């Protein structure tokens, strides 16, 4: 449906068009990241009676195993990113 199409487009944007955007930056700016989407995906599956592991949900979101995504796209967080993340956590809990 419309919601599913919008979700697929969001995943396309995050995982193909904007692989340069790191999860920590998403957390700092938006309060969620690709991992959060995976958690929400798993919660929705389980609410509909489907069993899904955390790894399966992340693979559905990332389009590949999480370890592969990290190897290909994730960079080490900078001290500035870590401080901004800590500040965001203090502000928004």
> What pLDDT does residue 92 have?
77
pLDDT grade, residue 93 (50/70/90)? low
Q: Is the pLDDT of residue 83 over 90?
A: yes
- Give me the chain's average pLDDT, please: 94
Q: What percent of the chain has pLDDT over 70?
A: 99
What are the tens digits of pLDDT across the range 24-51?
A: 999 999 999 999 999 999 999 999 999 9
Residue 74 near residue 14, CB atoms below 8 Å? no
What's the CATH class of domain 2-92?
mainly alpha
Q: Where are the domains of the chain?
A: 2-92
CB burial of residue 35 (10 Å; 0-12, 13-18, 19+): middle
C-alpha distances in Å from residue 21, one per residue of 7, 43, 77: 17, 25, 12
DSSP 45: H
């Amino acid at each position: 449906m419309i919601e599913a199409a919008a979700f697929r487009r969001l995943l396309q944007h995050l995982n193909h068009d904007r692989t340069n955007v790191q999860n920590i930056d998403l957390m700092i700016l938006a309060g969620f990241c690709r991992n959060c989407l995976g958690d929400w995906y798993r919660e929705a599956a389980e609410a509909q009676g489907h069993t899904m592991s955390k790894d399966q949900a992340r693979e559905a979101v990332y389009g590949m195993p999480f370890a592969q995504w990290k190897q290909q796209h994730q960079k080490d967080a900078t001290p500035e990113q870590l401080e901004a993340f800590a500040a965001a956590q203090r502000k928004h809990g």
